[in-house]
């Protein structure tokens, strides 16, 4: 009989399947995730856990799969309050004739804080544990995220013209450096520059962003080649495609995240690969706005890191990464004419570790591995639409509904307990949303 004293752990999570997400053919059955001090200690067979560990909390989840929490690499969280307000329009009509006027009238620190709370509740409930947010009043987004316990990267918006948060691009850049200093020691909050798009930011601010992103070692998020109109207008007014201009300015690097990227030539794909650029692919928003199709299969074959984002709820109209993952996988096959394009495991990685890599957070999250933060979701596969489970990864990508996410942990802290939010109050958020609905019903 062994005399070894079991080690202490904070949390033991047993599940029928554990998908670490780092190796394609690795799915662990009847295993246990060991969590200590907010980090993953190890994964081991459930049958040997009791002889190795004693924990403050132990949970058994038969019929569940554990996987890394989703990483949503592009969105505008507070725009959840604009959900459904200007549907069925092209991007530029939607943006310039409806969204920008609404933002000018309504966006404030309170709007951003409450809208971000609503978005975070939706994201946690559907399995997202980390998100990138490009929106005004980023301090309010940071407060909402830290109070809820979710991981966020603030891609602060930089635009030439006045907006609710800044008077011009230089003002936004200066505010971003202050924000970075204020939040650089946070466990949950990281910062980035978010120049809006090539058509809304001129060369000089972009040069400053290149310099500062290198100095601070933080990412740059930017909408790039989102529509054919954007590219044709750049050719007409500047004589060059936006990516060519960005390359000449030194923007393209492993810190750069190109959001949307629906209009790419083969030469541009090679350029993005050579520069180490990541793509934030937002398939459902692209489809809804008829913006185009990101050539995901070509990009991945060229070695480009492609991650997944929902975009904002005003253009998607939800923040459901399971839905986004399934759409991305199926759309890639249709666009390439190849049923083998973007197989299930690669789609799962797009929604997890590829996103963490794009944000520069892959040392913290994105896979279930010893030493990483315990950003974990438990998905109930013991449902009619996900039975029988011949292949857990395929079920997660092609069959699972986000409502099957029943437990969520970030840094080992429980944020969703059997479908119930633990750090946010659902009824309070619903009442807040109804209040904003009445306010926003006033014509602009």
3-state DSSP assignment of residue 397: helix
Give the span between the Cα atoms of 186 and 143, in whole angstroms: 11
CA dist list (Å): 156 to 137, 175, 226, 259, 442: 8, 9, 19, 14, 28
Q: How confident is the model at residue 90 (pLDDT cuts 50, 70, 90)?
A: confident
3-state DSSP assignment of residue 209: helix
Answer yes or no: are the C-beta atoms of 74 and 351 closer than 8 Å.
Answer: no
pLDDT of residue 9: 97
- Section 197-226 average pLDDT: 97
Beta bridge partners of 72: 131
DSSP class per residue in 237-279: HHSS-HHHHHHHTT--STTEEEEE--S--HHHHHHHHHHT-EE
pLDDT, tens digit, 9 for 90 and up, residues 127-183: 999 999 999 999 999 999 999 999 999 999 999 999 999 999 999 999 999 999 999
pLDDT, tens digit, 9 for 90 and up, residues 29-84: 999 999 999 999 999 999 999 999 999 999 999 999 999 999 999 999 999 999 99
Cβ neighbours of residue 301 under 8 Å, at least 6 residues apart?
Answer: none
Give the span between the Cα atoms of 425 and 194, in whole angstroms: 30
- Section 345-372 average pLDDT: 98
pLDDT of residue 3: 62
pLDDT, tens digit, 9 for 90 and up, residues 300-340: 999 999 999 999 999 999 999 999 999 999 999 999 999 99
- 394/91: higher pLDDT: 394
Angle (CA) 200 205 207, round 5°: 120
Q: How confident is the model at residue 96 (pLDDT cuts 50, 70, 90)?
A: confident
pLDDT of residue 441: 81
pLDDT, tens digit, 9 for 90 and up, residues 6-39: 999 999 999 999 999 998 889 999 999 999 999 9
The radius of gyration of the chain's CA atoms, rounded to the nearest angstrom, is 22
Nearest to 409 by CA among 75, 147, 69, 163: 69
3-state DSSP assignment of residue 45: strand
Q: How confident is the model at residue 444 (pLDDT cuts 50, 70, 90)?
A: very low
pLDDT > 70 in the chain, percent: 99
pLDDT of residue 92: 83
Q: What is the DSSP code (8-state) at residue 316? A: S
pLDDT at residue 433 is higher than 80: yes
Other C-beta atoms lying within 10 Å of the C-beta of residue 244:
16
Cβ neighbours of residue 241 under 8 Å, at least 6 residues apart?
Answer: 225, 231, 234, 235, 268
CATH topology assigned to domain 7-68+367-411: Urease, subunit C; domain 1 (2.30.40)
pLDDT, tens digit, 9 for 90 and up, residues 353-365: 999 999 999 999 9
CATH class of 70-358: alpha beta
Q: How confident is the model at residue 5 (pLDDT cuts 50, 70, 90)?
A: confident
Q: How confident is the model at residue 1 (pLDDT cuts 50, 70, 90)?
A: very low
List every span in the chain annotated with CATH 3.20.20.140: 70-358
DSSP class per residue in 82-110: GTTSS-S--HHIIIIIIIHHHHHHH--HH
Other C-beta atoms lying within 10 Å of the C-beta of residue 284:
21
Q: How confident is the model at residue 443 (pLDDT cuts 50, 70, 90)?
A: very low
List every span in the chain annotated with CATH 2.30.40.10: 7-68+367-411
Give the span between the Cα atoms of 414 and 377, in whole angstroms: 10
What are 409's two structure tokens?
Answer: 């942990």
Q: In this structure, which long-range contacts are made by residues 273-278, counting pairs with CB atoms below 8 Å and at least 24 apart in sequence?
A: 273/299, 273/302, 273/303, 273/304, 275/247, 276/305, 277/252, 277/253, 277/304, 278/73, 278/254, 278/304, 278/305, 278/306, 278/307, 278/354, 278/357, 278/358
Beta bridge partners of 157: 194
């Amino acid at each position: 009989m062994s005399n070894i004293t079991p080690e202490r752990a904070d949390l033991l999570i047993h599940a029928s399947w554990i998908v670490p997400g780092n190796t394609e053919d690795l799915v662990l059955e009847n295993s246990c995730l060991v969590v200590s001090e907010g980090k993953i200690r190890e994964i081991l067979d459930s049958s040997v856990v009791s002889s190795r560990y004693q924990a403050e909390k132990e949970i058994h989840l038969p019929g569940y799969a554990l996987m890394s929490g989703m990483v949503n690499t592009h969105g505008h969280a507070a725009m959840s309050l604009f959900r459904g307000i200007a549907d069925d329009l092209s991007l530029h009509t939607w943006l310039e004739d409806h969204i920008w006027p609404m933002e000018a009238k309504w966006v404030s620190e309170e709007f951003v804080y409450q809208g971000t709370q609503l978005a975070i509740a939706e994201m946690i409930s559907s399995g997202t544990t980390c998100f990138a947010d490009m929106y005004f009043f980023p301090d309010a987004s940071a407060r909402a995220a830290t109070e809820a316990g979710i991981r966020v990267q603030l891609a602060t918006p930089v635009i030439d013209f006045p907006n609710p948060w800044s008077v011009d691009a230089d003002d936004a850049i200066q505010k971003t450096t202050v924000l970075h200093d204020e939040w650089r020691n946070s466990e949950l909050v990281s910062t980035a520059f978010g120049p809006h798009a090539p058509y809304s930011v001129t060369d000089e601010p972009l040069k400053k962003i290149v310099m500062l992103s290198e100095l601070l070692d933080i990412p740059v998020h930017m909408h790039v080649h989102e529509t054919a109109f954007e590219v044709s207008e750049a050719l007409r007014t500047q004589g060059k495609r936006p990516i060519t201009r960005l390359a000449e300015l030194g923007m393209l690097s492993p810190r750069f995240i190109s959001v949307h990227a629906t209009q790419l030539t083969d030469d541009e794909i090679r350029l993005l690969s050579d520069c180490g650029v990541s793509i934030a692919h937002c398939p459902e928003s692209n489809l809804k706005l008829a913006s185009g199709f990101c050539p995901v299969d070509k990009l991945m074959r060229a070695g480009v890191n492609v991650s997944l984002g929902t975009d904002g709820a005003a253009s998607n109209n939800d923040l459901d990464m399971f839905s986004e993952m399934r759409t991305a996988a199926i759309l890639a096959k249709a666009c390439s004419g190849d049923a083998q394009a973007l197989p299930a495991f690669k789609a799962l990685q797009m929604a997890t570790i590829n996103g963490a890599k794009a944000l520069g957070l892959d040392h913290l999250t994105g896979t279930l591995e010893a030493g990483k933060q315990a950003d974990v979701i438990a998905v109930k596969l013991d449902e009619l639409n996900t039975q029988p489970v011949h292949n857990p990864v395929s079920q997660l990508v092609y069959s699972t509904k986000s409502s099957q996410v029943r437990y969520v942990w970030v840094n080992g802290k429980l944020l969703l307990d059997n479908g119930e939010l633990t750090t946010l109050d659902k009824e309070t958020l619903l009442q807040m949303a109804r209040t904003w609905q009445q306010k926003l019903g006033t014509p602009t």
